[in-house]
Chain A
Amino acid sequence: MSEGEEVPTRPVPDTRNAGARYWAAAANGVLLVPKCEECARTFWHPRPRCPHCGSDRVDWIASAGKGAIHTFTVVRQTSDPFFSTRLPYAVAMIDLDEGVRVMTNVVQTPLDALHIGMRVEVQFERASAGIGIPCFRASNVS
């Protein structure tokens, strides 16, 4: 890429919401999952009130960062400047062992090896100062 040409960056999430701590933790290599202290259930996506019971006593737990692919797709075309540089790339829903299902990119894994049920583990990408993006890759152990 020639000098002065801007390198496209991964779309940065809006952090002005209940997830501010989530992105900050990810920048430090920690994957957080919201958990209700009232009904003791985890949930996704982050909200200041529990979608199961309505309580505002919501805290975070650290996820072990391991889970399995629930479903996935390989994106072959996009108009997004950053993702155009990544084509083709995998978007997947991961069932985390803590009981929530999250969207992610499966990276550093051959696309033709992807399958539902595949064990994966978290790995973080840096999006910008103070914001980490949790991605996943195939686990080494079965």
Chain B
Amino acid sequence: MLPREQRLVNPASLSGQAAIVGAGTAAIGWETNQSVAEIMADAAHLALADAGLNMRDVDGLFAVTPYFWMPSVTLADQLGIQPRVTDSTNIGGASVVAHVGHAVRAIALGQCEVALIAYASTQRSDTGKLVTGADLLPYERPYGPLFPISGYAMVAQRHMHEFGTTRGQLAKVAVAASQWAALNPEALKPEPVSVDDVLASPLVSDPLRKLDICLVTNGGGAIVVTTRDRARKLSKPPIIVLGTGESHDHCYVSSMPSFTSSAAVVTGAAAFDMAGLGPADMDMAQIYDAFTIMVLLGLEDLGFCRKGEGGRMIDAGIGPGAGFPVNTSGGGLRYCHPGMFGIFLLVEAVRQLRNECGRRQVANARRALVHGFGGVLAGNATVILGRDERSR
């Protein structure tokens, strides 16, 4: 990478240039009669209505879903628009988090002014029909690993071995998620669970049990990003994009450089550097939780605690009323999980920073970190969001 002073644009100068102004979710549930394109379009219209903008304002389109081979093109067709910036980047569950960084760059360069980022899936209704996303090497397929469960199981196993992380600490991630979900009217599993419940649930791929693993649901979501100046003229408080980062250091489990850390080390550092902030400046984190181990490992890699101390941070509490709130929606474990959870991490961070979260609202929340994982710790993207510091 070029030295900072030689770069065409200093990434830090992009911090605060763009803001999220709209967020929406659609068809979160167990059953639907809608198509993936219809759900994605519904979420898009809801996000624009939330922003007080019109579909005609959209000139940048970012979309991902396992269902279409060119998702932003499919979505533009469904919506009847012609974008000037189009992006279907797929790095798994982290995709839409990476799209935020792409949108900020396009907006800062003047290539588009209003960017729409959308996702949808009917994975629940299609269970047994299609789209597992399983990507195994010829050197893996003959051995029958569950994708991606067995990969994360081996991450958990190694983390427990190296750092003394306990089964109970993993269970506490699911317990905290259930406590948040109980406060979220959109959550599909609002029933609280205990550590004993998690440890009594069936083993799927040791050491991971059923309640360590995300839901399989339908659903879609969308957000709208625009310039900070335009954002300040809209009715809802703008949520400023302060930092972004993206990376991946493998695709396959067989290529993983480590079973106890991820490229979140790189993406977190990049996002904090751009924002000029650090982990201690965050009031909450939304970390992709398809499996309990991801939260623990993410907290370490993003710098909220040192490597190996994730278990102790979980012991200290990440649930409602705890010192550091994590996954305040209930996460993929208890809120919803239609294939890729990234968009719901962003929507929840926006709702929290706007003070819209009712019983699960984090008091005085000013800044949030969002981190997406894709594949087995493969695709990584981090976004740091904050309230508009200028009083309106």
What's the nearest-Cβ distance from chain B to residue A124, in Å?
A: 12
Q: Which residues of B contact A13 (CB under 8 A)?
A: 138-139, 141-142
Cβ contact within 8 Å between A74 and B205: yes
A116: chain B residues within 8 A (beta carbon):
157-158, 161
Residues in B whose Cβ lies below 8 Å from that of A77: 146, 202, 204
From B138, B143, B150, residue with most partner A Cβ within 10 Å: B143
**B139 pairs with A19, CB closer than 8 A:** yes
CB–CB A45/B137 < 8 A: yes
Instruction: Determine the distance from Cα of A17 to Cα of B138 in the docked complex, in whole angstroms.
Output: 9
B145 near A75 with CB under 8 A, answer: yes
Least CB distance from B252 to A in Å reads: 7
A-side contacts of B154, CB under 8 Å: 71-73, 91-93
Q: How far is the CB of A94 from chain B (nearest CB, A)?
A: 11
* Residue ID in chain A nearest B259 by CB atoms: A71
**CB within 8 Å for A127 and B146 given contacts A103-B253, A116-B157, A116-B158:** no
Cβ of A86: which chain B residues have Cβ within 8 Å of it?
A: 144
> Cβ of A91 and Cβ of B150 under 8 Å apart?
yes
Question: Which A residues are in CB contact (< 8 Å) with B143?
Answer: 91, 103-105
Interchain CA distance A82-B142 in the complex, whole Å: 10
Query: For residue B255, which residues in chain A have a CB less than 8 angstroms away from its CB?
Result: 44-45
Question: Is A55 part of the binding interface, using a Cβ–Cβ cutoff of 8 Å?
Answer: no
Indicate the member of A13, A15, A91 with the most B CB atoms within 10 Å: A91
CB distance A15 to B138 under 8 Å? yes
Bound-state Cα–Cα, A72 to B158, Å:
8
Q: Is B326 an interface residue (CB 8 A)?
A: no
Q: Report the interface size class on chain B.
A: 20 to 34
When distances are taken between beta carbons in the complex, the residues of chain A under 8 Å from B161 are: 71, 116
A133 to B141, CA, bound (A): 11
Query: Among B157, B206, B253, which residue has its beta carbon within 8 angstroms of that of A76?
Result: B206
* Interchain CB contact under 8 A, B144 and A45: no
A52 interfacial by beta-carbon distance below 8 Å: no
Write out, one digit per residue, whether chain B residues 153-164 have a CB within 8 A of any chain A CB (1) or not (0).
111011001000
Any A CB within 8 A of the CB of B203: yes
Contacts of A66 in B (CB 8 A): none
Residues of chain B within 8 A of A92, CB atoms compared: 154
A103's contact among B140, B157, B206, B207, by CB below 8 Å, is which? Answer: B140
Q: What residues of B have a CB within 8 angstroms of the CB of A91 in the complex?
A: 143-145, 150, 154, 205
Contacts of B140 in A (CB 8 A): 103
**Number of A interface residues in the complex (CB < 8 A):** 36
* Beta-carbon contact of A46 and B254 below 8 Å: no
Contact B206 A10 (CB under 8 A): no
Cβ-defined contact, A45 with B139, below 8 A: yes
Q: Let me know if A127 and B205 touch, CB within 8 A.
A: no
Residues from chain A with Cβ under 8 Å of B203 in the complex: 74, 76
Contacts of A78 in B (CB 8 A): 144, 146
Cβ of A3 under 8 Å from chain B: no
Q: Which of B137, B139, B140, B145 is most buried by chain A, counting CB atoms within 10 A of its CB?
A: B139
Residues of A contacting B208 with CB < 8 Å?
73
Which B residues lie within 8 Å of A104 (CB)? 143
Q: Chain B's nearest CB lies how many Å from the CB of A18?
A: 10
Task: Enumerate B150-179 residues with CB–CB distance to A below 8 Å.
Answer: 150, 153-155, 157-158, 161
Q: How far is the CB of B172 from chain A (nearest CB, A)?
A: 21
A75-B146, A102-B254, A116-B161 given; A46·B259 CB < 8 A: no
Which residues from chain B sit less than 8 Å from chain A, CB to CB?
A: 137-146, 150, 153-155, 157-158, 161, 202-208, 252-255, 259
Give 16 CB contacts A-B under 8 Å. A10-B142, A15-B138, A17-B138, A44-B255, A45-B137, A45-B252, A73-B157, A73-B206, A75-B150, A75-B204, A76-B204, A80-B144, A102-B254, A103-B254, A116-B158, A127-B142
On A, residues with C-beta under 8 Å from B are 10-15, 17, 19, 44-46, 70-78, 80, 82-83, 86, 89, 91-93, 101-105, 116, 127, 133
Q: Which 5 A-B pairs have the closest CB atoms?
A: A13-B138, A73-B153, A83-B144, A71-B158, A74-B206
Known: A89-B144, A91-B145, A133-B142. 10 other contacts (CB 8 A): A11-B142, A44-B255, A70-B259, A73-B153, A73-B157, A74-B205, A74-B206, A77-B202, A105-B144, A116-B161
